[in-house]
C-alpha cells in the first residue's frame, strides 16, 4: 500500500479532522492603534504610495498567504489628510470602508461620488474603479475590509492601476430611496451588476432603521445591509450587519461556519469568542473565527457593533450552518 501511495482508512481511529478548526480570535484596541497614525503620516507621502494603510495582522495567521484578520477577510485602517487623495485603481477583491473618524472626504466608485462621514459604510465592489479624495478639514480614518484572502486562495487576485475608464451606467441613489420601491422598468438581472447599486449607506439612516427593528429575546436589535434591488447581501461575497446591544444583557450564544470582523461603532462592552474574552470600547476591532460560541454584553447604553462577514460565501457554497445555545 505504501509503494502504491495509498493508506487504509479503516485503520484510522482519530476523527479530529472532522471537527471544524479555526485560528484564535484577535483583538485590536483603538487606544493602541490611534497613536500610530501620526507615525504613518510621517512615514508616507500620498504622492509616492498607493494607500496609507495599517493592516491588522492576526499573529496566529502569519503562515497564511498575505496578511489577514481572519479566514477570508482582511482588516486595515486607512488615513487621509485634508487636500490629499489616494489614486484610482481597481481589483477583483470586494472591499468596504466604514468611517471611524472625521468627515469631508469622498470615495469615487465607478464615477459615483460618495461622501464619507463617521459611521458611513462605503462599498467598492470587486473590479470597480475607486479613489479617495479629502476636501474637508482634519484627518479622516476609516476601516478597510476586503475578501482578498479568498481571491488569493482561489488564484483570482487581479489588480489594475488607473487611469479609470468605461464606467457602467448606474442609477442614482435616489432611485432606491424608498424601501420596497424601485422603478417599474428596472430589471435587476439584466440592468444591474451583482452588487448593490448603492455605494453609500449613511450612518444616520442606519441608526434610524436599527431603532425600528424589533428587539430579540436578549434585547438586541439586528439589521442587515442589503442590495435594495435583490434583497440579498450588499456584495456577492461580503455580508454586513449592525447590532445594537441592550445594556447589561448578554446576547444568546451562537456559532456559525462563517467568519466575521466586528468593529465597535458605539459604546463599551465585553464579548466572549470561544475561550477568549475581549473588553472593547469605541473603534476597537476583533475577529470572530468560525465555529466559536460568541456572545456580547454592553456596559453602556447605545452600544453598537458593525459586523463584516463571509456568510454569503458559505451560503452560496451550501456550507452555512448556524447554531444557538439554548
Per run of 10 residues, the mean pLDDT along the chain (length 326 residues) is 90 70 93 95 90 93 83 96 96 97 96 96 97 95 96 93 86 81 76 88 96 95 94 95 97 97 98 97 98 97 97 96 92
Domains and CATH numbers, the chain: 25-166+199-321 (2.60.120.10)
97 pairs with which residues across the strands? 122, 144
Q: How many CB atoms within 10 Å of residue 273?
A: 23
Which residues are CB-neighbours of 57 under 8 A, at least 6 positions away? Answer: 67, 69
| pLDDT score at 22 | 83
Q: What is the pLDDT of residue 62?
A: 83
Q: Give the pLDDT confidence score for residue 15 in this predicted structure.
A: 62
Residues near 187 by beta carbon (within 8 Å), at least 6 away in sequence: none
pLDDT per residue as tens digits for the range 24-66: 999 999 999 999 999 999 999 998 899 999 999 999 888 777 7
SS3 263: strand
pLDDT for the residue numbered 172:
83
d(CA 107, CA 105): 7
Q: Output the nine-digit C-alpha cell for 314.
A: 458559505
Rounded Cα distance, 149 and 153, in Å: 6
Strand partners, 133: 85, 106
Sign of CA pseudo-dihedral 243, 244, 248, 249: negative
Amino acid at each position: 500500500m505504501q509503494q502504491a501511495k495509498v493508506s487504509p482508512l479503516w485503520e484510522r481511529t482519530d476523527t479530529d479532522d472532522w471537527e471544524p478548526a479555526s485560528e484564535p480570535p484577535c483583538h485590536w484596541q483603538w487606544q493602541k492603534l490611534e497613536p500610530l497614525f501620526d507615525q504613518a503620516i510621517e512615514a508616507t507621502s500620498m504622492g509616492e504610495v498607493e494607500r496609507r494603510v495599517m493592516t491588522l495582522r492576526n499573529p496566529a495567521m502569519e503562515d497564511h498567504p498575505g496578511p489577514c484578520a481572519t479566514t477570508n477577510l482582511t482588516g486595515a485602517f486607512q488615513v487621509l489628510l485634508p487636500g490629499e487623495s489616494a489614486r484610482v485603481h481597481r481589483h477583483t477583491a470586494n472591499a468596504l470602508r466604514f468611517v471611524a473618524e472625521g468627515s469631508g472626504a469622498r470615495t469615487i466608485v465607478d464615477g459615483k461620488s460618495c461622501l464619507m462621514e463617521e459611521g458611513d459604510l462605503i462599498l467598492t465592489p470587486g473590479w470597480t474603479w475607486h479613489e479617495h479624495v479629502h476636501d474637508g478639514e482634519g484627518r479622516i480614518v476609516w476601516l478597510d475590509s476586503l475578501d482578498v484572502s479568498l481571491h488569493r486562495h482561489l488564484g483570482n487576485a487581479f489588480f489594475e492601476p488607473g487611469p479609470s475608464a468605461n464606467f457602467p451606467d448606474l442609477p442614482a441613489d435616489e432611485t432606491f430611496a424608498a424601501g420596497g420601491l424601485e422603478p417599474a422598468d428596472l430589471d435587476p438581472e439584466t440592468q444591474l451588476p451583482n452588487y448593490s447599486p448603492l455605494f453609500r449607506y449613511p450612518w444616520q439612516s442606519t441608526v434610524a432603521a436599527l431603532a425600528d427593528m424589533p428587539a430579540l429575546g436578549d434585547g438586541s436589535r439586528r439589521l442587515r445591509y442589503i442590495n435594495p434591488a435583490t434583497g440579498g447581501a450588499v456584495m456577492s461575497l461580503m455580508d454586513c450587519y449592525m447590532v445594537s446591544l441592550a445594556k447589561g444583557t448578554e446576547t444568546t450564544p451562537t456559532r456559525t461556519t462563517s467568519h466575521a470582523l466586528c468593529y465597535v461603532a458605539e459604546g463599551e462592552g465585553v464579548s466572549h469568542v470561544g475561550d477568549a474574552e475581549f473588553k472593547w470600547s469605541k473603534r476597537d476591532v476583533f475577529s470572530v473565527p468560525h465555529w466559536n460560541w460568541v456572545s456580547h454584553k454592553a456596559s453602556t447604553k447605545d452600544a453598537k457593533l458593525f459586523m463584516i462577514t463571509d456568510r454569503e460565501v458559505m451560503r452560496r457554497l451550501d456550507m452555512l450552518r448556524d447554531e444557538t445555545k439554548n
